[in-house]
Chains A and B, each alone.
Chain A
């Protein structure tokens, strides 16, 4: 009998020690799309490196209602930290406040939540740096002088406009020889439309040396047009697109650089920030393996992952999203 009791005691200890392990949940907008699948790998890697329970759970559809339910259910289980990419900041706000009331550390990653709901906000990129990088890469291809055009997603897209404006301000100062031939041309986040618009641009401006594509479909559509016109060597295309989509065009030379961030690193960083905060460790300067040192911005809340990742024909196959 004593033996049995002892065994039960040991088992109970084991179970409770498992339950004691730190649980950090990273919630994407939805699971099952390449971008968020890639960040799952980063979250899992971080969990293994830190020896903690880092979970990646999210709804199968980008529905804010499902996200709210999942947060509420997670609270029943009891978690230590939640990093969320909200589908809609307002809708998850009441649920995040419940988390805070339950002493759960709340962060956002990828997409910002309402400021009052989070302790830290993990951003993928500094918009200014991305805007400037795109201009630098264009110059790398066409030199400091020449005509170029911009194909963007929507003219109303705030993030794309920030990147374009940052790049334009930078170009005006550093590369006065660059000439933007016309205002940014919208392509409605459609590859086909970007292709059509680029065809028109190539027709209208025969001296065009480069095209900058903003939004993920735009550079691909532009590259396709350049490729079909047989202008791979005459017209450079640089833009924000994902490696899997870009691979073919990078390899045939129609697309010269694809620039974005690595969602795997972003997921990893979110877990590290949560873990360090839970354990009261200093964030500033902490070296996250494979990502780099953490830097907290002056507002004491925003953490920017670092410079964008640039893909070329050589390194594009190392990424899968």
Chain B
């Protein structure tokens, strides 16, 4: 048990921070923050961002980054929204369910295609991930802007809104989807052979390649996995905003990087935990919702999130340095 806590010290620290934030917000906004209504509300909001953040974390674990994650989500959503609109034809075309199923399928397929483009350039051509995804960010965004001329695409079955607005009892569907994604991502990254190769590639790609692992395939897989999650987030967003538009969620890209780093994933790759990212997302959500409820100027939300990020990283640094010193001292003795 002690070993377990020591190994996951960062995650426990984050969990502690989350609990403290919940208590502070509960005191500052009595009768408002710690309510079913607010938690339901946060559940609706957290899923799309959480799924994107996990998609970002997986890539960062390999030492890469996916700056086009939101853009691939929106490009896939826009194409699927256009298809759904045409098929549904204002209620005169196909029935609700087939339209929605086709829409979801199109989103996933296009997202995977976007992921394969990223993966191909990173793994097989060997271009730096930050350059590839910065490029595809502009490309996906450009295509999305071109086919929509910058406006939103809407006009699909009302039932589609249920994905983002419906609840099972008091639990939003989006939250249930998010939980499934967390479990699947956890099993794939931290409990599978493929997951181990992901960490290994992040730690030292050359050594991994020489140890007989097909690192190119691993990297390709990571970008496709990230893209599938981005497509899933795209579906939730299209449903929640009842439309798809090129610039939806544009603020999520860097926030997803922030959540990944706050969650304890090293930006250099080779380490990190899905649950760390999940807790970090919850922390960002609590700050965001809490500040909104307190009607604090949004600038302070960004500042507070930034300060917590810097603070936690600094704390980690000093704690690790401390334990390093201790270790050195022990070995000197």
Interface residues of A (CB under 8 A from B): 25, 31-32, 55, 57-66, 68-70, 72-78, 88-94
Contact = CB atoms under 8 A, between A and B. Distances in A.
B218 interface: no
B133 interface: no
B151 to A, nearest CB: 8
Contact of B293 (A60, A61, A65, A77): A77
Nearest to A88: B152
A65 B152 contact: no
A40 B38 CA distance: 27
A59 B251 contact: yes
A69 B249 CA distance: 11
A59 B247 CA distance: 14
A94 B38 contact: no
Contacts of A60: 251, 298-299, 301-302
B316 interface: no
Looking at chain B's contact residues, is the secondary structure mostly helix, strand, loop, or mixed?
helix
B295 A57 contact: yes
Interface in B75-94: none
Contacts, number: 101
Given A65-B252, A77-B32, A32 B292 contact: no
Interface stretch (B115-123, B223-231, B236-244, B318-326): B236-244
Contacts of B302: 60
B167 interface: no
A72 B293 CA distance: 9
A65 B237 contact: yes
B289 interface: yes
B251 A66 contact: yes
A86 to B, nearest CB: 11
Contacts of A92: 241
B45 to A, nearest CB: 5
A61 B165 contact: no
A63 B241 contact: no
Given A64-B245, A66-B251, A78-B32, A73 B293 contact: yes
Interface in B265-314: 288-289, 292-295, 297-299, 301-302
Contact of B241 (A61, A78, A94): A94
B158 to A, nearest CB: 11
